[in-house]
Chains A and B, each alone.
Chain A
Amino acid sequence: MSALRPWAGVALLLLPVLIWVLSLAANYDVIADVDVSRASLAPSVDHWLGCDHLGRDVLWRLITASESFVGPSLFACVVALVIGVPAGALSGWLGGLPASLTRFGLTTVASLPRFVLVLLVCAAFGNSVQLIALAAGVAYAPTLAEAIYARIQSFRHRGFVLAGQAHGLRSGRILWLHLLWVNHRRLILRHCVQLFAYFLLLETTLSYIGGLDGAGSFGVAQPDPSWGNMIAFEWREPQANIWATLAPGLATALVLLGATWTGRSLIEEQA
């Protein structure tokens, strides 16, 4: 089991990505799918997970909901990488004043709780998933940068770095290729997996809260589906198809589990 776990984790993580591709390829219209004659249908051959209380196909919405987090969370990862990796790597490599300044800046960002930071950004600049992704990426960057900083600093004077320099490898090449790519890509990947999971949870939470007040003030607003707003939309309905509430919750749990397993396997092999 423990040997299978990393693979199961990766499989669970890849699942939403595959679903995302499927959803982009498919021609499901989230807006026009309402059909109250199908309200709260139980799962059947035509609708594998049944329908929600407006008669929309739960499975299709579950699939389409991947659009609300897969792309944005990848974007969040890119943002975190673009900010966190250079900041951490350069301050670790250079040390001294540049490192102090960069780390001061990052610590300032990190001192705000991430969730609060995201909410602040939403409140100030409006509520869109891309913006939330940007905020999440920025909010996560200090964590990534700090991790990389610590590692680069400890690797900075290892023999092979000196040898590489002696061989005439340019600092940039040693830093980016040998230190970051060859030696720390797992670390970076693990942080990306963590951020992916974090963003999924964030988006789901925000969309859930947004879905509760019926007006979609946070996160993804109906009719666009999100696993969070799907739960919020259904759970108060006394006659709801139980799958319409459970399925998005289970999907979230599975992907998070996948992220945990994958992340753990990346740590184990690192050591």
Chain B
Amino acid sequence: MFSLLIMAPLLSMSTAGAASFRYAEDQAPGIVNPLFSTTMGEARVNELLFDGLYSDSQELATVPDLVQSDELSEDGLTLTLRLRSDVSWHDGRPLQGQDVAFTVQAMKEPGTLSTEAGRVSFIERVETQGDSLVVLHFTEPQVRPQDKLTFKILPSHAFSSTVVTRSDSFRTRPLGTGPYKLVTYNDDNSITFQANSEGLGGKARIAEVVMREVSDKSYQAKLLLYESLEGLVRVLPRDLAVLQNNRKIELYPYQTNSWWYVGFNQARAPFDDARVRQAMSYLVDVDALLAPVGTGEVLSGPFVRSSPFYNHQVSPRTYNDTRAATLLEEAGFASEGGMWTRDGEPLTVTLSAHRTLESAQEVVINLQSQLRSGGVTVEVEFLDEAEWKARIWRQQDYDLVLSQWSFDRNEDVREQLHSDGARNFGSYSNPEVDALLNEARATRDPQVKKAALRKVHALASQDSPMIFLWTLDSYSAISTRVDDVVIHPFYFFTWVRQWHMGS
């Protein structure tokens, strides 16, 4: 009854134009600015709006996108790029070399605090010659620098300085060269995009893309079934059976390199003590946490099981209350009436979870229950997007987080685990891990890299900067009205230009 009431306005949107591709996100991106994207939802919108110098072909090879031709110097220290001359920004201004220079500089700029700064650290400086010639100077010799130049290019004329803030007005009026341009932010938090007729390779075949915010994932599947949507980015495990049996809907595997975790804020007592973190992970029965969420695989470290870096010699922690008790006692805790205390203070922690994280409620309740039985009191708070970014990312004001990381096929955990990683908001720091991560990045021997990262896996499992939970198989669901759909395994919309609406 209530559900119908809530759905009524959502259903009414089914009358929108037939030629538009409407897809659902759990939460509309608050910021559309590639310098600051931290979520998959933002990455997907970036893909619609912006282009990189290079991008992936459907065979996942690096192919030129904004670049006409390139030439790597013999010493591997400079790459000369000639930009395509037929590309213009959504406002009609032509793409110029200074846009590339600006983008790199803005990402590198310490004042910008870009979450993507690591992506350009190998570029020493950018030189422009004329309108379309760009010379990139590298800090060290590169073999295939093109592979690293897939970040999105921003228009220099839309910014006043290379120091860009998160609140820059660009976030609501983004300007790109991508296949779609942002037309309106609608009242219902949806965003309408229109095909960019000046885009690379001509106008995209679907005239309009609409991103709709549907925070309740249960309704996402229903809206797709009622043809009020054309696509779901990620389907809940419990909806898979229904969608797989529906002939009007196709399922596409999507984004498999992702894992859930409970992260500790190691800058804060008591989680600065590895023994407390380990003890907590011994108090958690991950299988029991996973059971109500769906089918997935329990992990022992920061890689998914199919990753070459996954260390199969390390087994996932299993519930062991005696081990936990020993560790907590070593860390100075004592059990009083079944609850752990230190210096008279009970061990009470707050667990923060993102409001839209699917099935988070089940996990949180379950975790709260398990830790209560283990003698730890957990209070729970659900944060919305803005609070999350402020509290977790910027202020690092939290005890525990429940969240999920998604990786592209490189599964580079450096940003998460290196002591200077941009996504290391738990303040994890282990010099040995830092060294191994550096080695893994530097080496050109895959087996050395594999060995180094497998060791990182073992160390991370030992240090427990987070309780590694599981990976879930995820699928996108797209209406059969949309043809020639090919989904990029990470960025989703990379090949959206070729998608089209069938008859």
Contacts and interface: CB of A to CB of B under 8 A. Distances in A.
Contacts of A37: 288
Contact of A216 (B288, B372, B382): B382
A217 interface: yes
A226 to B, nearest CB: 14
Contacts of B380: 221
A185 B348 CA distance: 48
Contacts of A238: 238
A223 B382 contact: no
B216 A36 contact: no
Interface in A236-269: 236-238
B216 A213 contact: yes
Given A39-B291, A217-B382, A31 B369 contact: yes
Contacts of B361: 214-216, 222, 233
A36 B319 CA distance: 14
A32 interface: yes
B365 A212 contact: no
B207 interface: no
B158 to A, nearest CB: 35
A54 B365 contact: yes
A212 B355 contact: no
Contacts of A223: 365, 368-369
B382 A36 contact: no
Interface centre among B215, B218, B361, B380 (most CB of A within 10 A): B361
Nearest to B368: A31
A236 B292 contact: no
A37 to B, nearest CB: 8
B370 interface: yes
A87 B366 CA distance: 48
Contacts of B85: none
A53 B372 contact: no
Dominant SS among interface residues on chain A: loop
Contact of A53 (B292, B358, B368, B370): B292
B355 A215 contact: yes
Given A215-B361, A222-B365, A36 B218 contact: no
B443 interface: no
A205 to B, nearest CB: 7
B360 interface: yes
A54 B382 CA distance: 19
Interface string A192-226: 00000000000001001100111111000111000
Interface of A: 29, 31-37, 39, 53-54, 205, 208-209, 212-217, 221-223, 233, 236-238
Interface of B: 2-3, 6, 215-216, 218, 238, 288-289, 291-292, 353, 355, 358-362, 365-366, 368-370, 372-373, 380, 382
29 contacts: A29-B372, A31-B372, A32-B369, A32-B373, A34-B366, A34-B369, A36-B289, A36-B292, A36-B366, A39-B292, A53-B292, A208-B2, A209-B2, A209-B6, A212-B6, A213-B215, A214-B216, A214-B355, A214-B360, A215-B355, A215-B360, A215-B382, A216-B382, A217-B382, A221-B380, A223-B369, A233-B361, A237-B238, A238-B238
